[in-house]
Homo-oligomer: A and B are copies of this chain.
Amino acid sequence: MISKSLAEYAVEVKYEDLPKEVVEFTKLCILDWYGSALAGKGEKPIQTILELVQEWGGNEQATLITGGKSSVGNACLVNAAASHIVELDDIHKSSIIHAGTVVIPAAAAVAEAYNLNGKELITAVAVGYEICYRIGEAVSPSHYYYWHNTATCGTFGSAAAAAKLLNLTVEQTMYALGNAGSQAAGLWEFIEDGANTKQLHTAKAAYNGVLAALLAKKDFTSASRILEGRRGFFNAMSEKYDSEKITKNLGKEYKIIENSFKIHASCRHTHPAMDCVQAIMKENCLSYEHIQNISILTYQTVLNITDNPNPETVYASKFSSQFCSALIALKGSASIIDYNEEILQSLEVRELMKKVTVAVDPYYENAYPEKWGAKVVITLNDGSIFCKATDYPKGDPEKPASREELIKKFKTMTLDKIWNTDEHIQAVLRLEEIDTAEWMSLALGEEQCKQTQ
Residues of A within 8 A of B (CB): 45, 48-49, 51-52, 55-59, 61, 71-74, 145-147, 175, 178-179, 181-193, 195-197, 200-201, 204, 208, 211-212, 214-215, 218-226, 229-233, 235-236
CB-CB under 8 A from A218, the residues of chain B are 48, 51-52
Copies held by the complex: 2
Q: Is the pair A187, B223 in contact by a Cβ cutoff of 8 Å?
A: yes
Q: Is the pair A193, B221 in contact by a Cβ cutoff of 8 Å?
A: yes
Nearest to A73 among chain B residues (CB) is B56
Beyond A182-B186, A189-B232, list 10 extra A-B contacts (CB 8 Å): A52-B211, A52-B214, A56-B74, A57-B57, A146-B236, A179-B200, A189-B223, A193-B222, A197-B221, A204-B208
Nearest to A232 among chain B residues (CB) is B189
Q: How far is the CA of A59 from the CA of B49 in the complex (A)?
A: 16
Q: Is the pair B183, A200 in contact by a Cβ cutoff of 8 Å?
A: yes
Nearest to A60 among chain B residues (CB) is B57
| Sample (17) of A-B pairs whose CB atoms are under 8 Å apart | A45-B220, A48-B220, A49-B215, A49-B220, A51-B218, A52-B211, A56-B58, A56-B72, A57-B58, A58-B58, A146-B236, A182-B185, A182-B186, A184-B185, A189-B230, A189-B231, A192-B229
Q: Is the pair B183, A204 in contact by a Cβ cutoff of 8 Å?
A: yes
Nearest to A188 among chain B residues (CB) is B231
Q: Is the pair A187, B182 in contact by a Cβ cutoff of 8 Å?
A: yes
Q: Is the pair A59, B56 in contact by a Cβ cutoff of 8 Å?
A: yes
CB-CB under 8 A from A56, the residues of chain B are 58-59, 61, 71-74
